Structure 1
C-alpha cells in the first residue's frame, strides 16, 4: 500500500492555515505536515491529535522551511503581513519558500495571494498587504513553480472586530463604517477556505498556474448593515464614510484599508460560482452572523 502524498501547511495554527489543515485532515486524502514555530502550543498539539505531522517551521529560517518541504507533494503557503507590517519582509519570506519549492520540485503549491495593487493602479494606490503578495505570486510563476494563487475576499470575521457596528452618537442606532460607497464588497469566512483549497489540491489540472478569487457573496455596506439589523434586533445603517474621511480616523492601518476599499471599488475578480463549486457548504454572511451570535453580544 502506497503512503498518502504529503501537503505541507504553513501557518497551520493560524486562521487560514488552520482551516486548510483541518479540511485536509478530515478528508484523509493527503497527509498533513503542519508547520508552526511552536510545536508545543495547544493548537499544534490539537492538530497532532487529529493526525497531522507537526514540525517546526519558521518563515525567517530557510533551513527549517527546506527541511519541512523535503519529500512533500505540495504546500499551502500563507504569509502574515500584519505580524510585522513590512511588505519587504513578506516578499522575502514568500520568495524564499518559492525557491525552496523549486529546488525540491514540489508538484503543486497553493499560495494565499492577492493582487499587486500598486502595479495595477500605475502607482496611484498602495496597499502593502496586497502588493507584497502580488509580487510573490509573480515570482512563483516566473521561476516555474507549479502554483495556484488563491485570492481571498474580505474576511467576514473582520465584522466581529475592526468593522463591527458602532453606536451612533446622535441616535438610538448603529453605524457600519466602510468606505465602499454603493459598490458591493466580496466577503468570505476564513473557516470556509480550507475546503476550497482541498478541492484545488484534489483536482489540480483545471486551476494549476491560475489565480482563483474566492467569495461567498458580494454585498453593499447597506446590505451588510441590513443583515446586522436582522441578526441583532437593532437598527444598523451604512455610515456612508468616504475613503478620505476613513483615512483620518487615526488608527495605524486607516490609510491602507481606505486604499484597499478604493481597490475593491474597482471590483477585482472574485468568483462566487466557482467558490461554491470548490466548497458547496460555504457560508453566506447571514449564516455567519447566525453562527456567531455569541461574539455579537457586546455590540
Structure 2
C-alpha cells in the first residue's frame, strides 16, 4: 500500500486550523502534521492524542516553517491578524510560506484567503485583515505555486464576540448592531470548514488554481434576529445601525470593521451551492444556533 500523502496544517489549535486537522484525521486519507507555537499546551496535546504529528513553528520564523513543511504533499495555511494587528506582518508570514512551498515543491497549497478590498475599491475602503490576505493570494498566483484559496464569510461564532447582541432594557429586546442595512450577509460556522478543505485536497484537478467563496447561509440582519428570537426564546431585532455610526464607536479597529461591513454590502462572491457540495453536512445559522444555544445562556 502506498504511503499516505502528508498535509501540514498551520494554526492547528485555532478555529480554522483545528477544524481542518480534525476533519483530515477523521477522513484518514492523509497523514497530518499539525503546526502550533506551543505543542505542550492542552490543545496541542489533544491533537497528538487524536493522531496528528504536532510540531512547533512560529509563522515569522522561516527556518521553523521550512522544517514543518519538509516532506509535505500539501498544506493548509492560515494567519491570525488578531495576534499582531499588522498588515505587514501578515503579508510577510504569507510570503515566507509561499516561497518555501515553491522551493520544497508542494503540490497543493490551500490558503485561507480574502479579497484585497482596498485594491478592489480603488482605495475607498481599507480592511487590513482582508487586504493582507488578498496580497498573499496575488503572490500565490504570481509565483506559480499550485493553490486553492478558500474565503470564509462572517463566522456564526462572531455572534458570541464581535457581533454580540446588545441588551436594551428600555426596549425589552436585544439589538444586533451589524451595519449592513437590508443587504443579506453570508455566514458559516468556522467549525464546518474542515470537511471543505478535505474535499478540496482530495480533488485537486477540480480545485487547483481556483478561489472559492464559502457560505452556508445568507440572511438579512432582521432575519438573523428572527432566527435568534425563535431558537433562544428571547426578543432580538436589527439595531439599524449605519456604518458611519459604527465607525465612530471608538473601540480599536472600529473604522476598519465599518469598512468591512461596507464591503459586505457590496455582496462579495460567496457560493452556498458549492459550499454544500464540498461539505454536505455544513450547517445553516438556525442549525448552528440550535446546537450552540447554551453558549448564549448569559445574555
Deviation string, structure 1 residues 88-109 (Cα, Å, up to 9, x no partner): 0000000000000000000000
User: Hey, what's the Cα distance between the residues in 1 that align with 2:67 and 2:233?
Assistant: 52
Q: Give the structure 2 partner of residue 192 of structure 1.
A: 192
**Residue 169 of structure 1: CA displacement?**
4.6
Q: Give the structure 2 partner of residue 132 of structure 1.
A: 132
Q: Give the structure 1 partner of residue 55 of structure 2.
A: 55
Q: Give the structure 1 partner of residue 12 of structure 2.
A: 12
What's the TM-score, normalizing by structure 2? 0.99
**Residue 229 of structure 1: CA displacement?**
0.7
Alignment of 1:32-43 (within 5 A): 32-43=32-43
User: Hey, what's the Cα distance between the residues in 2 that align with 1:251 and 1:286?
Assistant: 30
Where does structure 1 differ by over 2 angstroms across 4 or more consecutive aligned residues?
none
More displaced stretch, 112-121 vs 287-296? 287-296
Q: Give the structure 1 partner of residue 75 of structure 2.
A: 75
Alignment of 1:91-130 (within 5 A): 91-130=91-130
User: Hey, what's the Cα distance between the residues in 2 that align with 1:7 and 1:218?
Assistant: 31
Alignment of 1:121-160 (within 5 A): 121-160=121-160
More displaced stretch, 72-81 vs 166-175? 166-175
What's the TM-score, normalizing by structure 1? 0.99
Q: Give the structure 2 partner of residue 25 of structure 1.
A: 25
Number of aligned residue pairs: give it: 299
CA RMSD of aligned residues (A): 0.7
Q: Give the structure 1 partner of residue 269 of structure 2.
A: 269
SS at 1:163 equivalent: coil
User: Hey, what's the Cα distance between the residues in 1 that align with 2:94 and 2:191?
Assistant: 23
SS at 1:39 equivalent: coil
Q: Give the structure 1 partner of residue 258 of structure 2.
A: 258
Q: Give the structure 1 partner of residue 296 of structure 2.
A: 296
Deviation string, structure 1 residues 238-288 (Cα, Å, up to 9, x no partner): 000000000111111211111001001110100000000000000110011
SS at 1:88 equivalent: helix
Q: Give the structure 1 partner of residue 215 of structure 2.
A: 215
**Residue 170 of structure 1: CA displacement?**
2.6
SS at 1:178 equivalent: coil
Q: Could you tell me which runs of 5 or more consecutive residues in structure 1 were left unpaired when the two chains were aligned.
A: none
User: Hey, what's the Cα distance between the residues in 2 that align with 1:218 and 1:143?
Assistant: 34
